[in-house]
Structure 1
């Protein structure tokens, strides 16, 4: 693969990673509520989840979805149900008071649990495998060497994890957090509503 192909792949995928979705919403909420360090652990999980879908696309899962669309439909509904459940939990607990002291690791949720939350949030959207399948068909020649696959997965992880770390940094700042504490109930319901809409969009498209 040429440097031009890698460059194009990098920027197109970065634009996709930056688009608002369940993972970005979760990174915002986690860093607002629990601080930057926990947001970083979550971002690592988000990056790993993206790599799982990217690896699946590289090895033909997108083709399986095309041959057996019922499998994609089932995964879409399962993912939508997961997102709607998360939205319900956000909405239900939006009025709960929050301790103004940031929790210290590993209290409440350990780094491994946060990483798994990031992975499971990414895996709740099987359309990512279809995106990566189409995306890779555009940029990756059939004769690409094995090392190129490793480099591509590295790009996917760097973009998804890196962008969500930036999101975590922004939303963990004291001014941002103070605004959140003042408007906690409203913001939690907005996040929950957006997550529910994303779940419904996943199920209906």
Structure 2
């Protein structure tokens, strides 16, 4: 444990990370969709992108830009609606995802480029202004302003990333197992459209977010 962060503070933050990461959200939906569509090994690249977006959010808060986002209605609205449109785009992509007959011994097709999956995860997290404002409200509670902030933010970022990687591995792996159980085109189509509905629901929830409520 870094000498600039007490064990008690870190354990409290670790618990908070698990609670937040396990809570269903756009990142979890994207991880499950990636595992379903591409299998674990390929689909997990999406989780890497989610962590890059998470690190970007922490960096924004650490740099003080988060305070500007929290007070600027225009910046908040622009980022929010970009996120809404991107989630709707993912819903459309998932709805139109191709289906095919899967043999019991077949492995998931190695479709989906790693860079594309990384960028998908990054954009999902980076385009959620509510998450930045949430971090702006929560992270200071685990910071000691009398100690070097860079070291504390580093510990916070590493803890969040490690926990989220574990959780997203669970979501991705679970969905990749489901893929092997799908035998008919109808089953695959139902699951694809179910995830499309989840993406659309996430977009709807983000659209309802107002700056005054965070």
- 1:69 aligned to which of 67, 73, 92: 73
Matches within 5 A, 1:44-193: 44-91=48-95, 93-94=96-97, 96-98=98-100, 100=102, 101-104=107-110, 108-145=111-148, 146-173=150-177, 176-182=178-184, 183-193=187-197
For 1:180 and 1:23, locate their aligned partners in 2 and report how far apart those are by CA, in whole Å: 23
Q: Structure 1: how far apart are the matches of 2:199 and 2:90?
A: 8
Q: Is the contact made by 1:53 and 1:123 (CA closer than 8 Å) also made in structure 2?
A: yes
CA positional deviation for 1:124: 2.4
CA displacement at 1:102 relative to structure 2: 2.2
TM-score (norm 1): 0.88
Q: CA deviation at 1:192?
A: 0.9
Shift of 1:126: 1.7
Q: With structure 2 as the length reference, what TM-score do the two structures score?
A: 0.85
Unaligned 5+ segments in structure 2 are 210-214
Note the alpha carbon deviations across 1:103-153, whole angstroms, 9 max, x for none: 33xxx4332222222111211212110111111122112234222211111
Answer yes or no: is 1:35 the counterpart of 2:34. no
Moved more, 58-67 or 73-82: 58-67
Residue 46 of structure 1 and its aligned partner are, at CA, apart by 1.1
3-state SS, counterpart of residue 144 of structure 2 = coil
**What RMSD in Å do the two structures reach over aligned CA positions?**
1.8
Change (3 A) 1:97 1:138: same
Q: How many aligned residue pairs are there?
A: 198
